[in-house]
Amino acid sequence: MSPAEAQSRIAELRATVARHDELYYRRARPEITDFDYDRLKEELAGLERLFPEAARAAGGETPTQRVGDDRTEGFVRVKHRQAMTTLDNTYDEAELREFHARLVKALGTEELVYTVEPKIDGVAVSLTYEQGRLVRAVTRGDGEEGDDVTANVRTIRGLPVALKGAPVPAVIEIRGEIYLREEEFRRINQLQEEAGEAPYANPRNLAAGTLKALDAAFVAGRRLEIVCYGLGHCDPEVVDAQTAFRRQLEAWGLPVVAAFWSVRGIDAVWAAIGELDRIRRDFPYGTDGAVVKLDAFAQQRHPKIGYRGMTADGRAEAARKLSPRWACAFKFAPDRAETRVRDITIQVGRTGALTPVAELEPVFLAGTTVKRATLHNADEIARKDVRVGDAVLVEKAGEIIPAVVAVLLEKRPADSAPYAFPRRCPVCHTAAVRGEGEVVWRCPNPHCPEKVRRRIEHFASKGGVDIEGLGEEMVALLLQHGLIRTIPDLYRLTVADLLPLKKSGEVWAANLIAGIEASRTADLWRVVFGLGIPQVGAAAAKDLARTFRSLDALAAATTADLLRIGGFGEKTAAAVVAWFAEPENRTLVSALQAAGVTPTAPAAASSALAGKTFVLTGTLPTLSREEATAKIEAAGGKVSGSVSKKTHYVVAGEEAGSKLEKARTLGVPILDEAGLLALLAGSS
């Protein structure tokens, strides 16, 4: 490669890696696997080493000399007391042994003790405890400062707000990883599918997106979990090695990783990695590798080791620390299997979204037989050039969701033809449409049988009016027998209508009718959510219910009315107004009302709390965060996760963090628990 070619390739790789950093760290929507990303970054680093002049000429900041940045708008930024670095990755045993050889040379001994533990595929966070009390949780950010996510992290069950036992430092930063269990990931994706929405790609992306939600009550419903493993700033120091630190984490009552080895020498490290690879699929979280660290803190801090970004003698430091030389991550190769695409089918969602799915020759992958894999959208099929008959590599993203990651072009049949994405709905054959700037094609026919089925399922789902017993199978059966055609038809069903459908007697029929009857007075927000208004999730539906208190009032709302709701932007307001402007939708609402659906409005809010936004920070004397949130919402208020000029009150408890400081800066009224209870009492 010539210097000119190297310069061009370096510029191209920098732009590509920067784009994938944005997708991964800020949006939690990566388009490529970790393996493919690491390969791009490895190629870039190699070219920068071989062609330093070309690297300088390429211009711009290189992603090989910075930590990925997860900071987003809406959060207070907090500086880490000690930089929060990332790990250098390797997929190769030889490179792992080179890592050991460099440490042997620096320390002058072969007898090095290492720790080996799982590398968790989650979201890194730093927990600060002062005098043993949790005061702050901050994301990695750019390594120097991150986003304050304390309110959201406090919702994690199993994370103590106070450390147990002794010794307890005056100040300590404890690094951990936030994750979602596989069963919780599946539960949330089931709700997504019931709502007619695309499922999340993997637990890591979902955990990252959840952690950055601005509503702590919403985060609490997602059941995030955490494990702790790393030490940042600590004053005074209480341990002198990683092994001792793990024991101390357990003594303090903090959750730790599921497996841990303390071994001597690189051969023992390699054996531990092999053992981890054999057992990792039994862990409650995704594990994509092993973290290897020098055990002794004194060796980690040796002048010839330290961090990448420091000079060889350790006396001077660059703009920021990048990665420790005393640790590395050995990444397991992703679980992939070769199979063939039998067909490409199109699923029709509640909103009419046409989602392509690869129908595969069954293949065993990561413990299960895979028969189908998502292809996301028309643009993704074109980008990868996936065709019927192609041999493909399938990978389980996050070890759960199957995805086609590569086409084996050398095995492509000679008579293959590019896949032509259908321009008509495969169910009702209506011409598909794609909005300006959108990647998704949709069926616009409101009477499309598949859209009708999905809408009914969504309305009856647990997130909607929650009609027990009315799942996918029963909705399909009712439609098949012509007993229902629309949502309001549900409320005209009788036990006699249902009896011919099953042979199990009257009990199930009576139970289903009872569930339908109970839903007539479901909470207003559930009905609003169940209607499937674009841009309106559960949190927005609660805001609408609190603000307008009836379907009629909501239907009459103007864009200006909606924009006065905290957190509502022009896109959401326009979507709500447009939905109620459609004659079909107005007819649906009228038909529900005529069928006796009378949603229960939120409790009447007094002038003290109606429409007011609260932010909770710190630990209250008697109320848990969930209890305080419930009381505020019951009185007509709203709880947010961040302080802004639109915040009406900040409720501060013991050891409140940066939210209290920001409230003081902005002049937001501050209440203690007694003040909150007094305000609530005055609203009753």
Peptide bond into 30 cis (omega under 30): no
Q: Say if CB 117 and CB 260 are below 8 A apart.
A: yes
Q: Worst-scoring range by mean pLDDT, 38-42, 478-482, 591-595?
A: 38-42
Would you tell me how many other CB atoms lie within 10 Å of the CB of residue 389?
14
- Does some domain include residue 435? no
The DSSP secondary structure of 407-446, one letter per residue, reads E-GGG--TT-------SB-TTT-PBPB--TT----B---T
- Does some domain include residue 431? no
Examine the domain organization and report whether 32 and 107 are in the same domain.
no
Q: Say if CB 374 and CB 355 are below 8 A apart.
A: yes
Examine the domain organization and report whether 117 and 166 are in the same domain.
yes
> What is the pLDDT at residue 495?
92
Domain of residue 188, CATH code: 3.30.470.30
Examine the domain organization and report whether 283 and 151 are in the same domain.
yes
Smallest Cα–Cα separation from 69: which of 108, 31, 102, 22?
A: 22
Report CA torsion sign: 399, 405, 408, 414: positive
Encoded amino acid at 300, one letter: Q
- Does some domain include residue 22? yes
- Does some domain include residue 12? yes
Using CA atoms of 485, 488, 492, 494 in order, give the dihedral in degrees to the nearest 10.
70
Domain of residue 620, CATH code: 3.40.50.10190
- Does some domain include residue 79? no
Which tokens is 583 given?
């004659």
**Between 142 and 29, residue with greater pLDDT:** 142
Query: What is the Cα–Cα distance from 626 to 154, expressed in whole angstroms?
Result: 10
Smallest Cα–Cα separation from 176: which of 134, 135, 124?
A: 124
- The angle at the Cα of 91, spanning 386 to 242, to the nearest 5 degrees, equals 135
Contacts of 592 (CB under 8 A, 6+ apart): 487, 488, 491, 527, 551
Would you tell me how many other CB atoms lie within 10 Å of the CB of residue 364?
10
- Mean pLDDT computed over every residue of the chain: 86
Examine the domain organization and report whether 106 and 134 are in the same domain.
yes
Examine the domain organization and report whether 117 and 133 are in the same domain.
yes
Q: What is the pLDDT of residues 221-270, one digit of tens each?
A: 788 999 999 999 999 999 999 999 999 999 999 999 889 999 999 999 99
Examine the domain organization and report whether 324 and 352 are in the same domain.
no
Q: What is the pLDDT of residues 431-443, one digit of tens each?
A: 999 988 778 899 9
> What is the pLDDT at residue 311?
45
Query: What is the Cα–Cα distance from 267 to 97, expressed in whole angstroms?
Result: 9
Examine the domain organization and report whether 313 and 349 are in the same domain.
no
Query: What is the Cα–Cα distance from 318 to 429, expressed in whole angstroms?
Result: 62
Which residue range is the domain that position 304 belongs to? 85-331
Examine the domain organization and report whether 163 and 287 are in the same domain.
yes
- The angle at the Cα of 441, spanning 436 to 446, to the nearest 5 degrees, equals 105
Examine the domain organization and report whether 489 and 545 are in the same domain.
no
Please count the structural domains in the chain: 6
**Between 183 and 473, residue with greater pLDDT:** 473
Quick check: 334 pLDDT over 80?
no
Query: What is the Cα–Cα distance from 59 to 95, expressed in whole angstroms?
Result: 30
Query: What is the Cα–Cα distance from 345 to 358, expressed in whole angstroms?
Result: 7
Examine the domain organization and report whether 128 and 257 are in the same domain.
yes
Q: Worst-scoring range by mean pLDDT, 10-19, 46-55, 303-312?
A: 303-312
Domain boundary at 411, 441, 459, which? Answer: 411
**Phi-psi region for residue 502, left (φ > 0), alpha (ψ -120 to 50) or beta?**
beta
Examine the domain organization and report whether 206 and 312 are in the same domain.
yes
**Between 369 and 148, residue with greater pLDDT:** 148
- Does some domain include residue 601? no
Quick check: 201 pLDDT over 90?
no
Q: Say if CB 411 and CB 340 are below 8 A apart.
A: no
Examine the domain organization and report whether 396 and 532 are in the same domain.
no
3-state secondary structure 337-405: EEEEEEEEEEEECCCCEEEEEEEEEEEEECCEEEEEEECCCHHHHHHHCCCCCCEEEEEEECCCEEEEE
- The three-state secondary structure class of 620 is coil
Smallest Cα–Cα separation from 102: which of 341, 292, 339?
A: 292
Domain of residue 354, CATH code: 2.40.50.140
- The angle at the Cα of 479, spanning 473 to 485, to the nearest 5 degrees, equals 135
Domain boundary at 390, 411, 432, which? Answer: 411
Which tokens is 431 given?
């011409």
Q: What is the pLDDT of residues 45-59, one digit of tens each?
A: 888 888 888 777 876
- Does some domain include residue 130? yes
- Does some domain include residue 506? yes
Would you tell me how many other CB atoms lie within 10 Å of the CB of residue 111?
8
Q: Which positions are catalytic?
A: 119
Q: How far is CA 327 from CA 244, 287, 294, in A?
A: 17, 17, 6
Task: Using CB atoms within 10 Å of the CB of residue 315, give its burial: 0 to 12 exposed, 13 to 18 middle, 19+ buried.
Answer: exposed
Residue with tokens 């036992």: 165
* pTM for the full predicted model: 0.56
> What is the pLDDT at residue 276?
93
Domain boundary at 33, 65, 97, which? Answer: 65
